[in-house]
Copies of this chain bind each other. A is one copy, B any other.
């Protein structure tokens, strides 16, 4: 018996691979991890297309309660855990694979498209990206400087930086948590404009001139979807654009080659 961790791609029901689809159809139980990313298809659409009931797996189930709900049952029957995008985009799935090994649970992975390579569509060379970073909502006035440091380091050697923008799905707010309440808040997805505001606020605190309103960047939305959007421009310009519905990401450009310049100019 096996735990199959299956990437289901970036957009909708049809982005699963044929191998992934055949595999999950042969499984006894199918979980969908739905807090590190989202699809445009609903749970019901997935169930119709897969011809299988799908159980939503919140963070608590995949992290704290994985042993009893996913790992130990996978010793008795075949279990599929579906991950939006590719499997190892979130550290938590590496942890799950580790715990499967420790418990002697056979674990197989079926890969799929990831934002990390899909971002190649904008025309910046994938091999010229440095470390990837995340920009989180500055809730309660807490403004982590991590993305600023990463961008600074990448820019210093001419590399591009992919900034993944925060996703909050079914999470309680901090105030509730402090009161011991875990009522989930409505989902929030950071927009390109919000991401830029966070970066410029950090620049304002640090003052190291890593980012200015004129810094060249690329905003992307809904990569992998038919109505995806790519807009290039200065942070100031992108700040004013409407990218539409989530998910958004932001790329801070490093040193551009001639081909990269040409590719970016094609999105106007």
Contact = CB atoms under 8 A, between A and B. Distances in A.
A94 B125 contact: yes
Interface stretch (A59-67, A115-123, A197-205, A210-218): A115-123
Given A17-B16, A18-B14, A131 B132 contact: no
A76 B266 CA distance: 23
A131 B159 contact: yes
A120 B9 contact: no
A137 interface: no
A236 B22 CA distance: 41
Interface string A99-134: 001000000110111101110110101111111111
A262 interface: yes
A123 to B, nearest CB: 5
Contacts of A226: 108
A224 interface: yes
Interface residue range, chain A: 35 or more
B109 A112 contact: no
A7 B7 CA distance: 15
Contacts of A177: none
A157 B97 CA distance: 27
B126 A129 contact: no
A180 B8 CA distance: 48
Contacts of A133: 127
A39 interface: no
Contacts of A117: 86, 88-89, 111, 114, 116-117
A113 B116 contact: no
A139 to B, nearest CB: 21
A97 B259 CA distance: 12
13 contacts: A12-B19, A86-B117, A88-B126, A89-B126, A94-B123, A97-B123, A108-B226, A111-B113, A111-B117, A117-B117, A129-B132, A130-B130, A130-B131
